[in-house]
Structure 1
Amino acid sequence: MDFNRTVLVTGGSGFIGSHLVCSLVDRHPDWRIINLDNLDYCCSPRSLESVDDRANYTFIRGDVCNSQLVDHIFTTETVDVIFHLAAKTHVEASFESQSTFQLVNVDGTRVLLAAARRARHRPQRFVYVSTDEVYGASVDEVFDESSPPRPTNPYSATKAAAEQLVKSYWDKYKFPIIITRSNNIYGPRQFTEKVIPRFLTLLQMNKRCTIQGTLPKSRHFLFVDDAVAAFLLVLEKGTVGEIYNVGTTCEVPIMQLARQLIRMIKNVPDSEVKDWLEFVPDRPRVDLRYPITCEKLQQLGWRAEVSWAEGIRHTVKWYQENPDFWSDKSELQQ
């Protein structure tokens, strides 16, 4: 079968990547979607069961740091679009495994950029999916795309470094890159190390929600379908060489989040909610909040369509219906 477009998604078996891959496969039967993923601990092949047998979907198990493999893909395939999501993302782990985060997040991006630029068939777009954490924390300042990066942990430092690599390919070669920086994305199939599935899984195991430290932390939560819609929009309408914030005005204090999920899962009165909370030591460095503005993306026509109430209800329902999706819960046993 002849396809009109070939799209390579790195990290397509991860949480966000799998939602992006499924959306691309479903919406564009005339596009060939290639998923390059090494199936790390936070990935599940089950995330892509709905598209496994589709004629326009191909899975390649491999590491984005493997230059020989990546070169082979660009030599044998006519890749038109790259969505680069493959990354190590767990902030706490980044303090313990800094060299691994450097290798995957920075060197993996270098390998992919170099192979894509050398390809005989020049890609039309290279979309690098980054994070709002590159801005660092803020109490009052709202970050736009021109705000200087001030990463405060090894994870965000490697994402900021990778961004600079990506940007350099635009500056030096006019290679058609676009960078996105998104808020905390949540939804079905997210691994249990992230805050929402962590709380949900702990409660399903009849354990307390563990609150790190006593500082008033909050996060802006964006439902995964809205994030995918943003990525697809910047692919079609975004300006090459530009950065686009992808975010929401829905800011939820972590304590409020825990209380809400306790009420939803345990169905207890307010007077008993505190019995399901446990305070634990904070991680080495903590950012209280990451406020960003998305006016630039909104000018392209994007809006977050899924409300917090709808998104969290849908997410809770999925975890209740799929309690064994993530079999490895060793981290939560600690």
Structure 2
Amino acid sequence: MTFDADNACDQLPLWKQSPVFTGTTKFDKLEGTCNILVTGGAGFIASWLVRHLVLQYPEYNVVCLDNLDYCATLNNLKCLQGTTFQFVKGDITVPRDVSSTLEKFAIDTVFHLAALSHVDRSFGGDSFEFTAVNAYGTHVLLECCKSYGKVKKFIHVSTDEVYGEINANDDDLLESAILAPTNPYAASKAAADMLANSYYKSFKMPIVIVRCNNVYGPHQFPEKIIPKFVCLLESGRKCLIHGDGSNTRRYLYAGDAIDALDTILHKGTIGQIYNIGTADEISNLDLCKQLLDCFGYSATQHEAFIQHTQDRPFNDCRYAIDATRLKKLGWAQKTPFDQGIQITVDWYRTFGLTWWGDISDILTAFPVGPLANIRTM
């Protein structure tokens, strides 16, 4: 769903020029739910969730805890000025930040989305940070909530990557599948999942675990493949593809992911795990070609904007999860990939190069394409 914002013009702040994106679901108020904490709320998926909860449910008080690292921006939340929404700058790895927020706002429900999520960075010099934020940060949050003792539902948002890769002919994985992560990012998220489950088992904390396919859409920092490629193409640069580009991923539009989280909040069962999955699967190479189509480039021009580079140390061939359990709660995917990708491309072509400030350092490392002076709309 898109709430109309002011018409774009040069005099308006950037955040006022953008459409305001949310999900589409709306449920009756959940008894006992009043004050909801969303960690990482200035980031991508979490900011979609914050906007959705604030605008769809004015009866809830929504609080965001975020340390505003490089991939977060208050531009994602400024449209909520004048509402009851509260922003707290704080770090989930710092117990006093978490505890003081829980107490001050009398939090009864937690959505935990704060995480480092860029797989490429987890292979490099930042790998310790992934463990610190994703595993230790989750542990801090769980322990603070346990000590606080007033949280009635704790929804821990994870990833399909914790299951590891599966082959082309394998069945979609159920929530009962073993965790077999193959990269440092996925391993840190699997550790967080296990911590969350241990607090449910050991301390009877009201935990729900959610594992989602790749989510895409407006407001995602341009380090992930879709926003990065759109921003590169908008700058007249080439897209670098790991290996031969045959690795596939399943992509779910952010609005559908938020509908799923909303459904789980209002209808999900404590102690349960829910996969949020889609059948929209595409290889990295074909994804790049589809984005080039969105820019108006013909098939004969595609190769001029594609360059292959050395693959990751290990690159899962594919992920695939079964969302039957979630669908039984009434959730359904509403946004076809072709529709969602066009919305996403249109937003990034207008806002992507400036939404997070100067992102030139991300783009200048990529080679310039031969058609750099040709602009298509």
- TM-score interval for Structure 1 and Structure 2 normalised by the shorter chain: over 0.9
TM-score normalised by structure 1 residue count: 0.96
Counterpart CA distance in 2 for 1:293 and 1:110 is 27
1:94 aligns with 2:122: yes
- Aligned twin of 1:13: 42
TM-score normalised by structure 2 residue count: 0.85
- Aligned twin of 1:190: 220
Task: Please identify runs of 4+ aligned residues in structure 1 that moved more than 3 A.
Answer: none
Counterpart CA distance in 1 for 2:192 and 2:81 is 31
State the 1:268 CA deviation.
Answer: 2.2
State the 1:331 CA deviation.
Answer: 2.4
Instruction: Determine which of 186, 190, 193 is the counterpart of 1:160.
Output: 190
State the 1:215 CA deviation.
Answer: 5.2
1:58 aligns with 2:89: no
Counterpart CA distance in 2 for 1:72 and 1:317 is 40
State the 1:189 CA deviation.
Answer: 1.0
Judge conservation of contact 1:4–1:30 (CA < 8 Å) in 2: no
- Aligned twin of 1:81: 109
1:330 aligns with 2:358: no
1:132 aligns with 2:160: yes
SS at 2:142's partner residue? helix
- Where structure 2 has 5 or more consecutive residues not aligned to the other structure, the ranges are 1-31, 366-377
5 Å matches for 1:185-264? Answer: 185-214=215-244, 216-264=246-294
Counterpart CA distance in 2 for 1:199 and 1:215 is 14
Q: Deviations over 1:233-285 (max 9, x none)?
A: 111111111110001001011111101111211x2221111111111111111
Deviates further, 153-162 or 64-73: 64-73
Counterpart CA distance in 2 for 1:34 and 1:173 is 25
Percent of paired sites with the same residue: 39
Task: State the AA in 2 paired with 1:21.
Answer: V
Task: State the AA in 1 paired with 2:143.
Answer: A
5 Å matches for 1:107-122? Answer: 107-120=136-149, 122=150
Judge conservation of contact 1:215–1:288 (CA < 8 Å) in 2: no
Instruction: Determine which of 297, 306, 331 is the counterpart of 1:302.
Output: 331
Q: Deviations over 1:75-121 (max 9, x none)?
A: 2221111000000101011112221111100111111111111115x
Counterpart CA distance in 1 for 2:201 and 2:298 is 57
- Where structure 1 has 5 or more consecutive residues not aligned to the other structure, the ranges are none
Counterpart CA distance in 2 for 1:156 and 1:325 is 28
Counterpart CA distance in 2 for 1:163 and 1:52 is 34
Judge conservation of contact 1:192–1:329 (CA < 8 Å) in 2: no
Counterpart CA distance in 2 for 1:260 and 1:328 is 24
Judge conservation of contact 2:33–2:109 (CA < 8 Å) in 1: no
SS at 1:50's partner residue? helix
Counterpart CA distance in 2 for 1:268 and 1:316 is 14
Counterpart CA distance in 1 for 2:127 and 2:118 is 11
Counterpart CA distance in 2 for 1:161 and 1:50 is 35
SS at 1:134's partner residue? helix
Counterpart CA distance in 2 for 1:331 and 1:93 is 13
Counterpart CA distance in 2 for 1:73 and 1:246 is 29
SS at 2:341's partner residue? helix
Give the number of aligned pairs: 329
Counterpart CA distance in 1 for 2:143 and 2:33 is 24
SS at 2:79's partner residue? coil
Judge conservation of contact 1:131–1:182 (CA < 8 Å) in 2: yes
State the 1:332 CA deviation.
Answer: 2.5
- Aligned twin of 1:278: 307
Counterpart CA distance in 2 for 1:47 and 1:215 is 31
Counterpart CA distance in 2 for 1:86 and 1:77 is 19
Task: State the AA in 2 paired with 1:57.
Answer: F
Instruction: Determine which of 106, 118, 126 is the counterpart of 2:135.
Output: 106
Task: State the AA in 1 paired with 2:55.
Answer: D
